[in-house]
Structure 1
Amino acid sequence: IEQAKKDGKQVVIVDQDGEVVAAEGADAAVPAKPGEGVWANYDFVPGNRILFAEDFSQDRVGDFPKRLEFVKGNWEIVEWEGQRLLRNTGPRYAAVKIVLPRELPESFTIELDAHFTHGNHRMIVATTAPEPGKYWNSLEGNFFQIGVAHGTGVTTRAKGGVESTNRSPEVETGLVPIRIMVDGRYAKVYVRERRVANIPNAEFRRSAEIYIENIYSGSAENPLYLGPIRIAEGGRNLYDKLAEDGRVATQGILFAVNSSKIRPESTPTLEEIGTMLQEHEDLRIRIEGHTDASGDDASNQTLSEERAGVVRRFLIDTYGIDESRLESQGFGESSPVDTNDTPEGQQNNRRVELIKL
């Protein structure tokens, strides 16, 4: 941090939820509001149905995570700054798999946190696994890469195949979110708010597995860390779904933990809703807030009401939507759409819904 300050670079300090808590250096005022500053051109929208979610909070430190499938290498759960992470200390070709409930659809998103302690570290994230006994270099088509000097983005082993990667020094400086969005052959990859890959003609083989492999190396002195992992189905745009079904749920509006403060990653979804309302002037909607069943019932009810109200006010103030066209209501944990007994179900229940009036 001190060296970055000396070099005249901007230093942004965030908490574990991604909230900006301090900024120094050039352009020090870093907006943490949707649609402002570095988030103005951010266009990642998470899938609307969670297929897999794991934050390792139920795993014991020192164990291999219960919900991942071991392939090769040294993997263990560690405690780091108040949260549990998956650490890999090598060797090269160390790998794990995530087994999904069904094959990946045409549109999907993958979110995970990563921190690599050496500039040459690289991991690949593939939508299909190699044959038993083989490694990443036998994969066909495109797959994703996370790296520092070697870059993060979309790559391939095929001669003449399309690829797009960019150096990602952020991955070496600390734990950062990696976000992947695929729609058919179109793929975008982000490191924090920065888009590092944008490919319209990639070739991804779909399967019911996600394969993660360390393709460089690792050691106790230079480990690799992975944080919470979330994989979700994509879907149609919000207006089409709303027009057909009369309601649509979104995972794209995010809030600070136990707060109604909207996180800046919500920018693309809020923009889609605001533009939809501007283009369809006869459309009236109710914004509903929902929580999972963890925590106190009364607190969940209050929080859901506050969050729905904040979204309503944001759309009115930012997009000039007439107040009479928007209602808001909170339901707390009273209207689940999934079980509260699994991480995926809990995340599906934590949602904002739009209801056509």
Structure 2
Amino acid sequence: MIVQEDFSKESLGDFPSNWNTRSGAELVTINTREGKWLRLAQTGVFYPEYITDNLPENFTLQIDLLANQQVAAIGQWMVSLLQTKDTDEKFRLGEGLHASGVANFQLNFQPGSSRGQMYYSTNLIGSQSKSGIPEFHTPEKPSVKISIWRQKQRIRVYLDSTKVLDLPRALDANATLNSLVFSSSNPEYDSKEGAFFMSNIRLAVGAPNLRSKLMNEGKFSTNGILFDVNSDQIKPQSYGSLQDIAQLLKENTAVKVKIIGHTDADGDDHANLELSKRRALAVVQALTTTFGIDASRLQSDGKGKSEPVDNNDTSAGKANNRRVEFIKL
């Protein structure tokens, strides 16, 4: 995990302390959603300042995004993955779909337009549009989880669990990206109540080859299996990771594995240990009941906070420690 941003340590009503903008936005809560959300109600560019290194050539980016019903038909929200050299370039290139001359991938949504509208652009293939986006269209579907997966040249985009883009030559294979930038625009923002809301931003190194890791190294860990807070209830967005693991086990029918849960250091040690064991057992139950894996091939255990792989001082570090480990028996 490179970035795990849920704004949990920031104050409501403020702009995040480690982000930058030349416009304005504030953190709010939403009655029907957990956590804090960055409310974008002004035209502007917004980006986290703590991304200072080049992004890996294989990474995934996830964002939870909402739009209220007051967002006008021309209201736009955009995420940009860019190669920039300074702050001014982040603001300039983050404003539109035409960041020519530098490596970039930009994805733009207009959920208030007729049937929903999506635009995408890269420095290699130019800009294209796609009409009719049922996954993100107000007022019928005002929220979406956006997932972007870069593998060198290739870019895939998922809205919730639906793959909407698969661009095999979107970028140069060796293109360097070093900036994550968000923007919103709507000339009517100043006189309307339209706003976008975003949270739960997760930027991580791309998934390894699970079969290679398990067969050659004897184990692998995943942060893709998510649970409700202080619970062993698996979140629906974990389905893709569970499906990949189940497919691996189906293709290698002689393999048996031990599934081990790990937590971060927050909370009571004994409670964390018991929680990690329950979460590992929940994964076993999901693999057997949902995916048909023979229960005799699976064991479970939990280590609580006792085997961290990162520090527990940052959100990203804690997210790395909250993992599920698979060990070949």
- Fold in common (TM above 0.5): yes
User: Could you tell me which residue of structure 2 aligns to residue 214 of structure 1?
Assistant: 184
Structure 1 residues 171 and 55: alpha-carbon distance in aligned structure 2, compared to 1, 3 A threshold: farther
Structure 1 residues 73 and 295: alpha-carbon distance in aligned structure 2, compared to 1, 3 A threshold: same
User: Could you tell me which residue of structure 1 aligns to residue 106 of structure 2?
Assistant: 143
Distance of 1:337 and 1:275 partners within structure 2:
26
Corresponding residue SS for 2:201? strand
Give yes or no for contact 1:241–1:247 (8 Å, CA) kept in 2: yes
Distance of 1:233 and 1:159 partners within structure 2:
23
Distance of 2:37 and 2:285 partners within structure 1:
37
Corresponding residue SS for 1:127? strand
Structure 1 residues 228 and 322: alpha-carbon distance in aligned structure 2, compared to 1, 3 A threshold: closer
Distance of 1:249 and 1:317 partners within structure 2:
22
Correspondent of 2:200 among 206, 223, 228: 228
Report the residue type matching 1:103 in the other structure: N
> Is 1:191 equivalent to 2:142 in the alignment?
no
Corresponding residue SS for 1:120? coil
Residues matched between the structures, number: 305
> Is 1:126 equivalent to 2:91 in the alignment?
no
Distance of 2:310 and 2:55 partners within structure 1:
19
More moved, 79-88 vs 317-326: 317-326
Distance of 2:311 and 2:99 partners within structure 1:
36
Report the residue type matching 1:196 in the other structure: V
Structure 1 residues 166 and 202: alpha-carbon distance in aligned structure 2, compared to 1, 3 A threshold: farther
Report the residue type matching 2:75 in the other structure: H
Structure 1 residues 202 and 132: alpha-carbon distance in aligned structure 2, compared to 1, 3 A threshold: closer
Correspondent of 1:272 among 244, 254, 258: 244
Give yes or no for contact 1:304–1:332 (8 Å, CA) kept in 2: yes
Q: CA RMSD in A?
A: 2.6
Using the size of structure 2 for normalisation, the TM-score is 0.83
- Listed one character per residue, the Cα deviations across residues 198-256 of structure 1 (whole Å, up to 9, x for unaligned) are 32221275322201122444336222222221111103221112223222111121223
Structure 1 unmatched ranges of 5 or more: 1-49
User: Could you tell me which residue of structure 2 aligns to residue 88 of structure 1?
Assistant: 40
- Listed one character per residue, the Cα deviations across residues 187-206 of structure 1 (whole Å, up to 9, x for unaligned) are 22233333332322212753
Correspondent of 2:54 among 84, 89, 103: 103
Corresponding residue SS for 2:202? strand
User: Could you tell me which residue of structure 2 aligns to residue 45 of structure 1?
Assistant: none
TM-aligned CA deviation for residue 354 of structure 1: 0.6
Report the residue type matching 1:344 in the other structure: A
More moved, 111-120 vs 310-319: 310-319
Structure 1 residues 264 and 338: alpha-carbon distance in aligned structure 2, compared to 1, 3 A threshold: same
Correspondent of 1:161 among 126, 134, 150: 126
Report the residue type matching 2:99 in the other structure: L
Corresponding residue SS for 1:62? coil
TM-aligned CA deviation for residue 162 of structure 1: 6.0
Structure 1 residues 238 and 76: alpha-carbon distance in aligned structure 2, compared to 1, 3 A threshold: same
- Listed one character per residue, the Cα deviations across residues 237-286 of structure 1 (whole Å, up to 9, x for unaligned) are 21112223222111121223322222232222222212211221222211
Give yes or no for contact 1:142–1:154 (8 Å, CA) kept in 2: no
Give yes or no for contact 2:122–2:171 (8 Å, CA) kept in 1: no
Distance of 2:67 and 2:286 partners within structure 1:
37
Give yes or no for contact 1:168–1:191 (8 Å, CA) kept in 2: no
Structure 1 residues 317 and 63: alpha-carbon distance in aligned structure 2, compared to 1, 3 A threshold: closer
Give yes or no for contact 1:54–1:230 (8 Å, CA) kept in 2: yes
Correspondent of 1:300 among 262, 272, 283: 272
Give yes or no for contact 2:98–2:121 (8 Å, CA) kept in 1: no
